[in-house]
Amino acid sequence: MNMLIGLVALIAEPLLGYPALLQRHIGHPVQWMGALIDLFDRHMNDDAAAAKTRRRAGIIMLAVLCAITVLLTLAISLLLHRLPFGWVIEALLGSVFLAHRQLAQAVSAVAYGLEGSLLRGREAVSHIVGRDTKALDEAEVARAAIETLAENASDGVIAPLFWLLIFGLPGIAVYKAINTADSMVGHLNARYADFGWASAKTDDVVNWVPARLTAMLFCLAAIITPGASARAALKAVLHDAGKHKSPNAGWPEAAMAGALHFELGGPRTYGGEVLNLPSMGSGRRHLGPNDIRKSITLYAIALMITFVIVAGLYFSII
């Protein structure tokens, strides 16, 4: 049944999205998770406490967050399973945690912004990246957008879908809880290095398989994407993915870079501090709006392949 739920969720997210009325009145479930994480952060992450104490507090925070998420979504799932078409509602609820349309729209906005002016491009990309954007040139804006698309194809689509297919609504909800915790507190700075340790490590674990699946989907998509190369994508994955400081982010990024003959990665600035990250791929670094659109095409074809694979798995089971 989870395969069917996943198929419907994949279709529902781009068609329906999250209702604006609900967003205005009750917010989004990920926002609820974020509010709980922020509450724990303010009350349990004591700057004066010992590192061991802060790490323990972070473990407790993550455990409570996941426990609450499991209990609520499992109760909803069990209730829905008693209804004749409860699985449809579960699929619609699951689609709330997918973001393939939203991701494509946000990255497309960067391409449109750059075509207007560099300032508009910087403004658009500032909404989807954490790095400093005020001094980026056109190529850096384009690379930032493409890198974000590659990484979030895994974090925002393939990974949540993967856990939805395995564990249903509780699976996708717990994944998003872990991923949200990592994005909020999983940072290597003085405040979060210990408190966010459990969130960062757990996020690495739950994204390990999906990141590699995303890379393979980009390689497959490159076979039928005009101008792309599946061989170059696979070569970049094997050569560059392991260089990334993250155990997962390098896989989809390297695959997209290789497939489209780009070079992604390299130095970037966060909070005024320059991080010299490794390069992914060995193609062009001077990218622009059309290159962003090429990456969106590859991403869209990878999603279509994902749908076909999930459909194939479902019909092979029934």
- How many CB atoms are closer than 10 A to CB 50? 10
The pLDDT value given to residue 27: 93
The pLDDT value given to residue 67: 98
Measured in degrees and rounded to the nearest 5, phi and psi for residue 280 equal -115, 125
Closest by CA position to 90, among listed 80, 75, 100: 80
Using the 8-state DSSP alphabet, how is residue 189 labeled? S
Any residues with CB less than 8 A from the CB of 315 and at least 6 apart, and which? none
Spans of the chain below 50 pLDDT: none
pLDDT, tens digit, for every residue of 243-266? Answer: 998 999 999 999 999 999 999 998
The pLDDT value given to residue 43: 95
Closest by CA position to 168, among listed 65, 99, 86: 86
Distance between CA atoms of residues 168 and 32, nearest Å: 20
Domain residue limits, the chain: 2-317
The pLDDT value given to residue 10: 95
The pLDDT value given to residue 42: 96
Any residues with CB less than 8 A from the CB of 187 and at least 6 apart, and which? 193, 196, 200
pLDDT, tens digit, for every residue of 237-248? Answer: 999 999 998 999
Question: What is the reported pTM?
Answer: 0.95
The pLDDT value given to residue 30: 96
- How many CB atoms are closer than 10 A to CB 314? 17
Cα-trace Rg, the chain: 20
Q: What is the 3-state secondary structure (H, E, C) of 249-284?
A: CHHHHHHHHHHCCECEEEEEEECCEEEEEEEECCCE
Whether the CA torsion 134, 139, 140, 144 is positive or negative: it is positive
